[in-house]
Chain A
C-alpha cells in the first residue's frame, strides 16, 4: 500500500495504537519534510531542526499506543513538534496580552476608522519581489509563537482548528496572533522599503 493510501486507511488510528510498523513508517514518510521545514521556520539551524525532528518522531512512536484518532494524525505530530521547538528554544516567547504592534496598527487609522496613514510601498509586483528578498529577516524579528502560527497557516496550510490544537490557543487568540504577525511583517517590509 502506498504511503498516501495508508494514511487514508479508516483504521489508521487503530494501526498506530497497535504500533503497526508500516503505519508508523507511513506517518514518518508523510510528515518528515514538513516537520523539518517547520522547525527551520521556527528559527532553528539545520542540525537543531533535524534533532527536533528526530525527537518529535521518537515521542510520536512512544505515545502511539495512546493515539485515539480524535484529531488528525498530522495535528498530533505537529503538536509534539511544537513542544519540542519550545524546549529547544529556551525562553520561547508566547504571545503577550499587550503588543506594540497593536498600537502601530491603531495609529494608522483616524477616529472614523479610515486610513490616516495608508499602506505604503512599491507597486504590487515590486512589493512581491521585495517581500521574497526580505521576508527571512522580518520573520526572524517576529515573536516565536506568532511566527509559528503564521507559518502553520501560510506554509503548511493548516486549518484554524488544527493550529489552535497545536498551539493550545483559542480561535480568537489565533486571530489576534495572525493579525499581529502579518502587520508586523508588513510593517517591517514597509520600513525597509522606505529606508532603501
Chain B
C-alpha cells in the first residue's frame, strides 16, 4: 500500500494517468481509507476548477477580438488562396 506522501505526490504530478493498474488501484484504495489524502486530492481538483473559472471569466470584448483577428488575417499572403471567401 502506498504512503500518503506517495499518493499525494502521484496525484499532484499527474502520474496516475500513465501508471499501471496496480498503482491506480492501490491509490484508489488508499484514498477510500485516508481522509487527509482525500481532502488533498479534492482541494487540487478545486484549484484546477478555479483556474478554469478565472480564465473563462475574463472574455475579450468582441470588437477588439475582431480587430485582432483581421489584423492577423491581413498578414496572410493572398496569392495561394483556394477560395475567395476564407470562411466558407
Contact surface of A with B, Cβ cutoff 8 Å:
1, 3, 18-22, 24-26, 28-29, 32-33, 36-37, 40-41, 46, 50, 53-54, 57-58, 61, 105, 109, 112-115, 118-119, 121, 124, 127-128, 131-132, 135-136, 139, 150-151, 153-155, 160, 171, 174-176, 178-179, 182-183, 185-186, 189
Contacts and interface: CB of A to CB of B under 8 A. Distances in A.
B4 A29 contact: no
Contacts of B52: 154-155
Contacts, number: 155
A36 B43 CA distance: 28
B5 A131 contact: no
A176 B13 contact: yes
Q: Lowest 10 A-B CB distances belong to which pairs?
A: A113-B3, A175-B13, A131-B50, A118-B36, A113-B5, A154-B48, A135-B50, A25-B86, A179-B13, A128-B46
Contacts of A139: 51, 54
B12 A182 contact: yes
Contacts of A109: 3-5
Contact of A113 (B6, B39, B60, B79): B6
Interface of B: 3-6, 9, 12-15, 17-18, 36-37, 39-40, 42-44, 46-56, 58, 60, 64-65, 68-69, 71-73, 75-83, 86-88
Nearest to B68: A50
A75 to B, nearest CB: 18
Contacts of A154: 47-48, 51-52
